[in-house]
Amino acid sequence: MTLSGRLALTVLAVSILSYGMSGAIFAQEVPASSIPPLSVETDQELYTQGNTVTISGHVKDYDASNVVTLRVLDANGNIIAIAQLTPDGNGDYSTEVIASGPLWKPAGDYQVLVNYGAQGADVTFEFTGGDGGAPPPPPPPPEPEPEPEPESLNQNQNQSLNQNHNVVQVLN
């Protein structure tokens, strides 16, 4: 290959490679028009029995007159969870669902469907299957620590009780 042929091939290769990089070099902010009117996502793509499925999303033009309706469908298309969510002032919403209980049995792709007015969105996640058992009970609340015993009065102190106000006074 001649020198001019190698030079032409090099110029062609550089121009092809630089075409794919121009978006990164001239990156711009995402215009508001490209934000979908309603979005939904899960925090993971795969869940097992007992996991917490965190579902969140955004309503672009939230006006507080509607709620987000959420449905979770199992691998057979049966509704296994349903909720109405009120987005915050920015239009963001989220909820948690425990992947356990009598409706969480078949393994496969589960679908989260959300609606806000006429808008709709969905996301899919995989569930490994379950035995339909009840979710584990929450841990018991911690026991309060006992109050320390008051110190006994020494011989130089005197204690009196005001009967009318149920006030205990310690006098030196």
Averaged in consecutive runs of 10 residues, what is the pLDDT profile of the chain (172 residues)? 62 57 53 82 96 96 90 96 94 95 95 95 95 75 82 51 44 46
Residue 19: inside a domain = no
Residue 169: inside a domain = no
Residue 160: inside a domain = no
Residue 141: inside a domain = no
The closest alpha carbon to 121, from 49, 46, 71, belongs to: 71
Residue 103: inside a domain = yes
CA 112 to chain centre: 13
Residue 62: inside a domain = yes
Residue 149: inside a domain = no
Position 148 scores a pLDDT of: 80
Contact 121, 114 (CB under 8 A): yes
CATH number for the domain harbouring residue 37: 2.60.40.1930
Position 170 scores a pLDDT of: 46
CA 99 to chain centre: 14
Number of compact structural domains in the chain = 1
Contact 112, 72 (CB under 8 A): yes
Residue 116: inside a domain = yes
Contact 38, 114 (CB under 8 A): yes
Position 141 scores a pLDDT of: 85
